[in-house]
Amino acid sequence: MDIINLLNQIDAFVWGPIMICLLLGSHIFLTIRTGFIQRKLPLAIKMSVVNDDDSEGDVSQFGALATALASTIGTGSIVGVATAIISGGPGAVFWMWLTGVFGIATKYAEVYASVRYRVKDSGGEMLGGAMYAWERAFKRKDGSTPWWAKLGAVAFALFAVIATIGTGSAVQSAAMTGIIESSIPGIPTWVIALIIAIAVALVIFGGIKGIANVCEKLVPFMAVAYTLGCLFILVYNWQYIVPAIGLIFECAFTAKAAFGGAVGSGIMVALQFGCARGLFSNESGLGSAPIVAAAAATKNPARQALVAMTGTFWSTVIICALTGIVLVATMLANPGIVQGESLSEGAALSSAAFATIPVIGTPVLVLGMICFAYSTAIGWSYYGNRCVTYLFGRKAQRPYQAVYVIVGFLGAMGVGDVVWTISDIGNALMAVPNIIMVLLLSGLIARETKHYIYDDNLDEVFDEEIPVVTTK
């Protein structure tokens, strides 16, 4: 057995039924534990555009949200949805959407823990994430950290670094190169790769403030532009909207074969692939978004947790669901595009579906893919930067950023398959210590959520001093 097949088997196992049950089960449990925090979405959306003045933090609440959204709304929002439909049938869109609805609670809980247990470095910059929550939340009375808590912290940070290099750098660069080459043939691959590497480097070497500034401008633009494009496509195929939604619901609960059996069918298949792609698309439970959320200027953990949970709503409940309806409606309008082996991959189905819409279809796909991939690349670099800082100190930041850019260049050149598989495994493995930590703290999170949110104390300032740690 060669190394690639072995990695593929490991990847399939770690993203298999056990991981789906762990994440989806946590979503449902935390929804109940937090008193169905999803009902506070209108308040959370309103708070996401209001800054907490005079609060400690490196970026605004919206800046942290925009950076997290930039990392979450990636190529998975387009290609990932198409992959779920091919493998699990139209019903997968429903299960993907449902994981987003319940995943809102997990995003709230993990961000709450991250902000509550964040620390500052000697320069005053905020540091947070599952690694610091593990270290601080379970400290003994003598100030020491139990070995198992330290293990959870180190494991999360290590797997996150591996995941960021592949998911954030190689895969996104490869996606941008592929869409540019197919749309503008004739440009040498190395030229595209070099431009992508420079564009990423110019932003990530500026630190969190530079990343947040770019994301604050890019995320609203790309989300609005892509949404308007999808709405135009739906208007173009207006007579297929209701049948598409009906087919999605029907295939989610019956073993109906769709499009002549050209795509996956069956309740369990739809459930498996819909949940898997949904969990991957919104990152709820992975522990990535809490890292940047800890840098936000906020009065208390509940406020930023509310703001952060809107990310799952926008990325999966809105963007992924919209993409799914667009694809299924377009497939109903043009049944010929789902026939043949050429559409065995999500990217091919996405290209074929959007290309059926004259004038605007392909530009919407190209713009969406490039913006989504680029924003993911710069957002994930911050996650890896903070995890490297935790593991090796500030001295490791520049080497990590250099490796990140180099891997992005190689990914754009087509050297990304193995890196992608390894990073996908890292994605799954970083979720395990993060979810365990959140579940262990769920009682505390529930109690304090009641105090801040349900007892109307959202304007109360968190009174515990943020400790300073040494990062050499």
Query: How many C-alpha atoms does 237 have within 13 Å on its Cβ side?
Result: 28
So where are the chain's domains? 57-141+154-441
152, 168, 287, 305, 436 from 156: Cα distances, Å: 6, 17, 8, 20, 11
Task: List the single range of 174-178, 278-282, 398-402 with lowest mean pLDDT.
Answer: 278-282
Query: How many C-alpha atoms does 255 have within 13 Å on its Cβ side?
Result: 2
Cα–Cα distance measured from residue 146 to residue 322, given in angstroms and rounded to the nearest whole number: 46
Helix-strand-coil split of the chain, %, nearest 5? 75, 0, 20
> Taking 90 as the threshold, does the pLDDT of residue 463 lie above it?
no
Task: List the single range of 42-51, 101-110, 163-172, 251-260 with lowest mean pLDDT.
Answer: 251-260
The residues that bridge with 120 in the sheet, in sequence order, are 126, 468
Using pLDDT thresholds of 50, 70 and 90, give the confidence band for residue 185.
Answer: confident
* Mean pLDDT value across residues 24-47: 93
> Taking 70 as the threshold, does the pLDDT of residue 339 lie above it?
no
* Mean pLDDT value across residues 296-302: 88
Of 43 and 62, more confident: 43
> Taking 70 as the threshold, does the pLDDT of residue 245 lie above it?
yes
* Mean pLDDT value across residues 187-208: 84
> Taking 70 as the threshold, does the pLDDT of residue 262 lie above it?
no
Using pLDDT thresholds of 50, 70 and 90, give the confidence band for residue 62.
Answer: confident
Burial of 173 (0-12, 13-18, 19+ CB in 10 A): buried
* Mean pLDDT value across residues 371-396: 87
pTM: 0.88
Of 420 and 239, more confident: 239
Burial of 186 (0-12, 13-18, 19+ CB in 10 A): exposed
- Distance between first and last Cα of the chain: 43
* Mean pLDDT value across residues 168-183: 79
> Which CATH number does 57-141+154-441 carry?
1.20.1740
Q: What is the DSSP string of 392-434?
A: H-GGGHHHHHHHHHHHHHHHHTT--HHHHHHHHHHHHHHHHHH
Of 274 and 187, more confident: 187
Q: What is the pLDDT of residues 396-430, one digit of tens each?
A: 888 999 999 998 888 888 765 566 677 778 778 88
> Taking 90 as the threshold, does the pLDDT of residue 459 lie above it?
no
Task: List the single range of 48-57, 213-222, 367-376 with lowest mean pLDDT.
Answer: 48-57
* pLDDT score recorded for residue 260: 47
Q: What is the mean pLDDT of the chain?
A: 82
Q: What is the dihedral of CA 276, 280, 281, 284, to 10 degrees?
A: 110
* Mean pLDDT value across residues 319-348: 74
> Taking 50 as the threshold, does the pLDDT of residue 346 lie above it?
yes
The residues that bridge with 377 in the sheet, in sequence order, are none
Q: Are 384 and 164 in contact (CB under 8 A)?
A: yes
